[in-house]
Amino acid sequence: MGGPGLSILSGSIILGIMILPTVITISEVAILALPSFYKDGALALGLNRWQAIWSVQIPAAKSGIVAAIILGIGRAIGETMAVIMILGNAVAIPQSILDPVRTLTTNIGIEMGYAADEHRQALFATGIVLFVIIMILNSTAQYVTRKK
């Protein structure tokens, strides 16, 4: 029972908390950047304050909110030091979310200092994999925001 708490679950919770300021700040800026007549028009049509926010302002700021979420996910993927300390840094395939693990960014951060030849090339390939994942996230976000 118990244990040190070094697991995928604890790392996920910490990363979720770490990206909240980024997502909240950028989403807030996206909503505040809307012209005031969006909210004024919704209120004039009889919507209350929360209905105006939920049905008018948030859909109008959707592209900024999606951008905030993508930036938050990108920050979580690129995070290295917090993940090194929280995830347990185990080079093994986890069997549950309570097992320790090592992420791709953590692997690059730890091993790049002493890597040589093929090992260094493998770490650079890992970086390319991370780059492709970020490109897929960005492409998906663009597709979702331009769909309507």
- What local confidence, expressed as pLDDT, does residue 3 receive? 64
The predicted structure's pLDDT at residue 2: 53
Q: Which of 108, 104, 105, 132 is nearest to 120 (CA)?
A: 108
Q: What is the pLDDT, as a whole number, of residue 33? A: 93
pTM above 0.85, yes or no: no
In which residue are the tokens 């390939």 written?
125
Q: Is 86 left (phi over 0), alpha (psi -120 to 50) or beta?
A: alpha
pLDDT tens-digit series, residues 60-91? 998 889 889 988 988 888 787 788 888 888 88
Sign of CA dihedral 134, 135, 140, 143: positive
Which parts of the chain register pLDDT below 50?
Answer: 1
**Residue 15: partners with Cβ closer than 8 Å, 6 or more residues away:** 76, 79, 82, 83
pLDDT for the residue 97: 87
The CATH class for the domain spanning 8-146 reads: mainly alpha
pLDDT at 127: 92
Give the pLDDT score at 140: 83
